[in-house]
Amino acid sequence: MQTRQSNFNEIVMQAIFFLSALISVLAVLAICLFLFMRGIPAISEIGFTDFIFNEKWGPVNIPASYGILSMIVGSIYVTAGAIVIGVPIGLMCAIFLSEFCPDNIYKIVKPAVNLLAGIPSIIYGFFGMQVIVPFVRENFGGNGYSILSASIILGIMILPTIISISESSIRAVPESYAEGSYGIGATKEETVFKVMVPAAKSGILTSIILGIGRAIGETMAVVMVAGNAVMPLNKIELLKPIRTLTTNIVTEMSYASGLHESALISTGVVLFVFIIILNASLSLISSKTQRN
Amino acid sequence: MKKSKLLSIITLALMLSMVFAGCTQETPGTPAADFDFDKDITVVARDAASGTRGAFHEIMNIIVKENDTEVDKLVVGALEFDGTDKVITAIEGDKYGIGYISLGSVSERIKAVAVDGVEPTVENVRSGSYSVSRPFLLVTKGTESKLVKDFLKFTESAEGQAITNEMKFIGAIDAPGEYTASGMSGTIKVAGSTSVAPLMEKLQEAYNELNPDVTFETQAQGSSQGIKAAIDGSYDIGMASRELKAEEASELNRYVLAIDGIAVIVNNENPKSDLAADDITNIYIGEITKWNEVK
Amino acid sequence: MDRTLDNLKQRKVKAFLFKSFVWFCGILTVGILIYILLFILLKGVPKINLKFLFGEYNSETLSVFSSMVTTVQMIVLSLLISVPIGVFCAIYLAEYAKRGNKAVKVIRLAIDTLAGIPSIVYGLFGMIFFVQILGFRASVLSGICTISIMILPVIISSSEEAIKSVPDTYREGSLGLGATRLRTVFRIVLPTAMPGILAGIILAIGRIVGETAALIFTSGTNVLKNPSLNLMASQRTLAIHMYMLASEGLPHSRDMAFATGSILILVVFVVNYATTKLAGRIGRSQ
């Protein structure tokens, strides 16, 4: 009797566990469904090429134009800038933490990296607006609200992602690799650079892709430092303002209506597609490493 | 071994001091009175949601209407911000910047210039000699509830108008009436312009002192949002800081809350204190790009 | 012979440069953090006063009280939704799912996707689905629903890690004593994995506190004068309060944005401290 009861419990609970697990799938499906449901009709109304390959964004003009090419390019530039700034520093910091850092300093640096990860993006944005923008204006010229400022702030924001994942993947390289390298007379620096880092490359690559994902999707920090000007492609410069996909949504959504609102949701769809591509490449990397 | 350690510590110290020297350089307020007229003008605008932008661009002919078309000619590369304080911050920090904000938000952080020789003061806006102004509107749809009517009556009363004038806006009612507390209760939902919101907040506070049982819910995300919310009925009152478009006006009741001047602002170090309206327009449409081209 | 000596010297110089660069980057990271923290705290903490913390919101105090209450409300309610779902999902993945199962692959893909979606896209989804289609309007409820989905992957992955790190001998012992699988999970596995699960929950709290983009279109930017727990009211959280203060044109709103930022940073401190403490406990228990 008791076993039947507990068998019954077991089955019921197992079903509940499974259903809970299915909720994530449902959530992803719902997000896809509703975003596409609202976004796709707008894209077809505007025309796919007029939406993606047109650099003119003038939703309040009559007749209105809804081209987001400039923002797609803007997002790519800003993200690339963040990678150029964030990856070398982050990777070096990861090497520092995993190979060179004395224990007592590790106790300071590691929590600092964790804290950096926990700081809300609004604080990064505010800091960027009050510090990075004037800094760029004084030292590099232009008015400070620029691709460069956005790249710097995003570069800082992706540091913790790059550092913690790269660090753990460097730590995961078997001891024997390093010993072999020392055995043939290499210095510690050479060993790290030529043996450890190449051996950890898939983990490092993962960290970079996650960093790209964070940078391309970041909104509130970018909106405060990028200046939000829609720039024609031939006028985009490092020290000039820029509008990205995310900031386009956040500055205009509150008052948009009709086709304008749908066009902004479509902007979100394009962003979503970018993220899906990034995720796909991530799982590609992880399946490759598993096979090796 | 010891030597190399010492060396590395020195290099580190050098590198770090370089970084922090860079960081400290940005402290503003250095007495660099040398204003370089050959520098590019930094044009600062508001986001397209803003009523301030709608009104300013319309008055200054930055929006060009031809037959059925209507194009905002704002120069490529103009900064667009979704809040008054961001505009102030940008102009405060950039010697070569120009922007526009509500007259009520002018502070010593920036300098408001005269337009065609007329100072942006409350008196000049009231007399109509300062031409860059727009109405602050409250809009409702259909017949208002008693509560909303009561609040609107308060905003148009002597008390409400006194608050309006105190905030450096210009009360629009010629002979304001008296208001007595009605003791009503309920919730009033208000949405719209970020420029009207500070005034609205003060009015709500004063109204609450008389009628403590009334609660307000305020969303400030731009004039167009407020108008939209009033039309679709999701909010009781919409705040707008620009004139209504014809198709909007046909659906709404329109109450003029106040008149607000739009101040053209520049950095405190900018020697200009008077700009011609034509020059301002040319700056905003990109015909003028440097300060030495300004008369 | 000379050449090899030169070569050796060169190598040493290179090694030295490399080493100092690595040190530099490590210290730079800490420097950036300290600079950000000091910048906000030094300007913000002196501005904090009692009226700002616990007063009624008006254009003078710009009080954070009602935003704080809403932030706490949002944390509690969204955790109530996503912790059971997340932990159950983790139990399924770690204890019940068979390796190579198709369904498991799909579920993992979904979790990875959720983890990668930017918060602005969650905001758009929340606006379309909860605010417009389900008719919750811009309200705390819409915000909570959106946030609950957003923190799900954090809770699932940390819980799964924690459950997987429970040694198999514990399970075998329990099963050997005649306990059912379910009993083993609830009496042995979950309690042992609790610090890890808690660490995940605290991480999720950090995310809720700092979130802006997903909430600005779902719970809205309204601020109530006095704290309210009304789920259908639109009310901002701390982070949105800071964003609005940084955008508004009131004379002292920027100062108060610094003050709000300081409070946010203090919360982040507490969250981080708690996570490290819990994570340390897992480390030691193994």
- How far apart (Å, rounded) are the C-alpha atoms in residues B230 and B253? 10
**Over pLDDT 90: what percentage of chain C?**
63
Q: Which long-range contacts (CB under 8 A, 24 or more apart) does A108-112 make?
A: A108/C30, A109/C26, A109/C27, A109/C29, A109/C30, A111/C272, A111/C276, A112/C29, A112/C30, A112/C33, A112/C34
Nearest alpha-carbon partner for A238 in A145, A107, A109: A145
Beta bridge partner(s), residue B134: B260
Burial readout B80-103 (b: 16 or more C-beta within 10 A, e: otherwise):
bbbbbbbbbbbbbbbbbbbbbbbb
Reported in sequence order, the residue ranges of chain B that DSSP labels E, i.e. its strands, are 42-46, 63-66, 69-72, 79-81, 97-102, 111-115, 133-140, 170-171, 186-192, 214-220, 237-240, 253-266, 274-275
Q: Which residues of A touch B53 (CB under 8 A)?
A: none
Confidence band for B3, pLDDT divided at 50, 70 and 90: low
What angle do helix axes B84-93 and C238-247 make, rounded to 10 degrees?
60
> Range with the lowest mean pLDDT among B14-28, B277-291, C79-93?
B14-28
pLDDT at B18 over 60: no
Q: Does A273 touch chain C (CB under 8 A)?
A: no
Which tokens sit at C226? 């006095």
Check which CATH number belongs to the domain holding B215 and give it: 3.10.105.10
pLDDT at B174 over 80: no
- Does B154 lie in the same domain as B120? no
> Range with the lowest mean pLDDT among A57-61, B155-159, C193-197, C265-269?
A57-61
User: What is the pLDDT at residue B101?
Assistant: 92
CA distance A184 to chain C (A): 14
Q: Does A156 touch chain B (CB under 8 A)?
A: no
Q: List, for residues B46-57, the tens digit of each pLDDT value.
A: 988 777 888 899
A246: nearest CB among C86, C118, C276: C118
pLDDT at C285 over 60: no
Confidence band for B19, pLDDT divided at 50, 70 and 90: low
Check which CATH number belongs to the domain holding B286 and give it: 3.40.190.10
User: What is the pLDDT at residue B30?
Assistant: 44
pLDDT at C286 over 70: no
CB-CB under 8 Å, B23 with C222: no
User: What is the pLDDT at residue C249?
Assistant: 67
Q: Does B228 touch chain A (CB under 8 A)?
A: yes
Q: Which residues of C touch A264 (CB under 8 A)?
A: 124
Q: Does A143 touch chain B (CB under 8 A)?
A: yes
Q: Does B126 touch chain A (CB under 8 A)?
A: no
- How far apart (Å, rounded) are the C-alpha atoms in residues A58 and A259? 12
In a domain? residue B230: yes
The separation between CA B277 and the C-alpha centre of its own chain, rounded to angstroms, equals 19
- Does B274 lie in the same domain as B213? no
pLDDT at C28 over 80: yes
Confidence band for B167, pLDDT divided at 50, 70 and 90: confident
Higher pLDDT, C138 or C283: C138
Q: List, for residues A160-183, the tens digit of each pLDDT value.
A: 999 999 999 999 999 898 888 888
Can you tell me the ipTM of this complex?
0.92
User: What is the pLDDT at residue B14?
Assistant: 58
Which tokens sit at A102? 């004395």
Q: List, for residues B99-112, the tens digit of each pLDDT value.
A: 999 888 888 889 99
Mean pLDDT (chain B, rounded): 84
Domain ranges of chain C: 2-47, 50-285
Nearest alpha-carbon partner for C24 in B226, A92, B27: A92
The separation between CA C186 and the C-alpha centre of its own chain, rounded to angstroms, equals 26
> Range with the lowest mean pLDDT among A186-190, B160-164, C87-91, C145-149?
A186-190
- Does B221 lie in the same domain as B177? yes
Beta bridge partner(s), residue C71: none
Q: List, for residues C216-241, the tens digit of each pLDDT value.
A: 989 988 888 888 888 988 899 999 99
A228: nearest CB among B79, B97, B228: B79
User: What is the pLDDT at residue B192?
Assistant: 86
CB-CB under 8 Å, B85 with C247: yes
Q: Which residues of C touch B215 (CB under 8 A)?
A: 224-225
Cis peptide before B31 (omega within 30 of 0): no
Size of interface A-C (CB pairs under 8 A): 244
Question: Domain tally for chain B?
Answer: 2
- Residues A118-138: what's their mean pLDDT? 94
Q: Which residues of A touch C11 (CB under 8 A)?
A: 187, 190
Q: List, for residues B197-255, the tens digit of each pLDDT value.
A: 888 988 998 999 899 889 888 887 778 878 888 998 888 999 998 888 888 888 899 99
C interface test, pick of A126, A132, A153 with most C CB neighbours within 10 Å: A126
Instruction: List, in order, residues 6 or more apart from B289 with CB less than 8 Å away.
Output: B40, B41, B75, B283
Confidence band for A188, pLDDT divided at 50, 70 and 90: confident
A145: three-class secondary structure by DSSP:
coil
In a domain? residue B14: no
β-pair type (B170-171, B253-266): antiparallel
User: What is the pLDDT at residue C210?
Assistant: 93
H or E stretch at A9: helix A2-46
Half-sphere exposure of residue B60, counting CA atoms within 13 Å on the CB side?
31
- How far apart (Å, rounded) are the C-alpha atoms in residues C198 and C268? 16
Is the four-CA dihedral B206, B209, B214, B219 of positive or negative sign? positive
- Does B246 lie in the same domain as B138? yes
Q: List, for residues A86-96, the tens digit of each pLDDT value.
A: 999 999 999 99
CA angle (B260, B266, B267) in 5-degree steps? 135
Name the pTM for this structure: 0.88
Q: Which residues of C touch A25 (CB under 8 A)?
A: 106-107, 110
Q: List, for residues A223-275, the tens digit of each pLDDT value.
A: 999 999 999 999 899 999 999 999 999 988 877 778 888 999 999 999 999 99
- Residues A133-139: what's their mean pLDDT? 93
Within 10 A of C213 (CB to CB), how many other CB atoms are there? 27
In a domain? residue B69: yes
pLDDT at C68 over 70: yes
In CATH, what class is C50-285? mainly alpha
Q: Which residues of B touch C246 (CB under 8 A)?
A: 83, 85-86
User: What is the pLDDT at residue C282?
Assistant: 61
Residues listed for chain B:
295
Half-sphere exposure of residue B252, counting CA atoms within 13 Å on the CB side?
28
- How far apart (Å, rounded) are the C-alpha atoms in residues B91 and B95? 7
Range of the domain at B92: 42-133+263-293
Q: List, for residues C262-271, the tens digit of each pLDDT value.
A: 999 999 999 8
C272: nearest CB among A16, A115, A131: A115
- Topology of A65-291 in CATH? MetI-like fold (1.10.3720)
In a domain? residue B231: yes
A-facing residues of C in 132-191 (CB < 8 A) are 133, 149, 152-153, 156, 180-183
pLDDT at C205 over 90: yes
- Does B121 lie in the same domain as B158? no
pLDDT at B28 over 60: no
- Does B210 lie in the same domain as B228? yes
DSSP, residue by residue, C183-238? HHIIIIIHHHHHHHHHHHHHHHHHHHHH--TTTTTTT-S---SS----TTS----H
- Residues C102-117: what's their mean pLDDT? 91
pLDDT at B1 over 50: no
CB-CB under 8 Å, B201 with C59: yes
pLDDT at A289 over 90: no
User: What is the pLDDT at residue A62?
Assistant: 81
Nearest alpha-carbon partner for C265 in C26, C33, C5, C25: C33
In a domain? residue B25: no
Mean pLDDT (chain C, rounded): 89
User: What is the pLDDT at residue A252?
Assistant: 85
